[in-house]
Amino acid sequence: MMSSVQREGFLRVLGHAPTIIGGLLLAMTAAGCGNDGTISVQEQRGEPTIVGVVTGTVFAPNGQIATNDRGWNWLTFFEMSKAYAALNPNVVPVGPEALVALSAVDEIDALDGRIDSPRLIAQGITNVDGQYRIADPDIREIDVCRLMVAVGGGELLTRAFVVASVTDVDVASETTVRIVLNRLTQGPPAQLCDFTTAELVSLLDIVDNATFTAQGDDIFEVNQNAYQTARDDVCVRDAVDKATGNDRDGTPRACLRFYP
């Protein structure tokens, strides 16, 4: 027979039994069992990495480029014929090995009409058809203010605001960038993020129509001529006014065809 002391200790253990058993069950559940019946620790899996992609084609007058550097300012020059540029300056894909840089543009940086410090995200190389593909987790969202792709540097810089997962780089896209940046230096005050993605798509279409016959002896002159033409185009000015809340006079009759 148990003594009174032994009996009291036994009852105390029984009183704690639910807590002890529950703790053991919890430990076994957390550890889990392998296929062979052994207990194993299950690894915690993190969320899968989401990678965004931007693709497109780089176009140049005559589609000819020459490079001597694979850095940011890789482009030495675009070779072209003036006659060809007058026919259609932005429909010929460049060849392979053209470096395309994807960057994020800060609207504060762009306020003075220049983009001096774009944050480089990733780079890609064109294939034989002039097509590039850039994949990076930082571009999982396209419709943000404001991603930009660019080739070249200095006077030969050709850029495009990223307005879709497929964004081409050509004379019209560079002109659109210049038109937007120029507006930021004019009154009434406007900021880069005032231009929505949809408004940039519409503006690009209107600029492309206005600059179709831009001329020049090299890519610098073609871009300059295209910008001057677009800057003075009534429909381009109207689209910019609409995007920045300065559309007091309504849409000119000649520009109605660009809107649904």
Please determine, for residue 74, whether its predicted confidence score (pLDDT) is greater than 70.
no
Mark out the alpha helices in 67-195 (DSSP H runs): 82-87, 107-110, 171-183
Q: How many domains does the chain have?
A: 2
* Side chain identity at residue 220, one-letter code: F
Same domain, 236 and 162: yes
Summarised one tens digit per residue, pLDDT across range 119-137 is 999 999 999 999 999 999 8
Q: From CA 116, how far away is CA 254, in angstroms rounded?
A: 36
Please give the structure tokens belonging to residue 191.
């900021």
What pLDDT is recorded for position 34?
42
Same domain, 160 and 40: no
Please give the structure tokens belonging to residue 190.
């406007």
Summarised one tens digit per residue, pLDDT across range 213-225 is 888 877 888 899 9
What pLDDT is recorded for position 41?
37
Mean pLDDT of 186-191: 93
Please determine, for residue 21, whether its predicted confidence score (pLDDT) is greater than 50.
no
Q: Is 175 left (phi over 0), alpha (psi -120 to 50) or beta?
A: alpha
| Alpha-carbon radius of gyration of the chain | 31
Same domain, 35 and 82: no
The residue from 44, 61, 77 where one domain ends is: 44
Q: From CA 55, how far away is CA 138, in angstroms rounded?
A: 15
Listed range (46-60, 68-82, 100-114, 142-156) with the worst mean pLDDT? 68-82
Same domain, 111 and 8: no
What pLDDT is recorded for position 69?
39
Directed axis angle between helix 171-183 and helix 197-210, to 10°? 120
Summarised one tens digit per residue, pLDDT across range 90-104 is 568 988 999 999 999
Same domain, 28 and 154: no
How are beta strands 75-79 and 64-67 bridged, if at all?
Answer: antiparallel
- pTM score: 0.74
Same domain, 20 and 131: no
Same domain, 231 and 131: yes
Same domain, 140 and 232: yes
% of the chain with per-residue pLDDT over 90: 53
Same domain, 152 and 58: yes
Same domain, 133 and 237: yes
State which residues form the domain around 36.
Answer: 1-44
Same domain, 28 and 113: no
Same domain, 63 and 177: yes
Who wins on pLDDT, 194 or 143?
194
Q: From CA 203, how far away is CA 199, in angstroms rounded?
A: 6
Peptide bond into 146 cis (omega under 30): yes
Residue 167: name the closest of 136, 218, 131, 202 by CA. 131
Please give the structure tokens belonging to residue 174.
């560079």
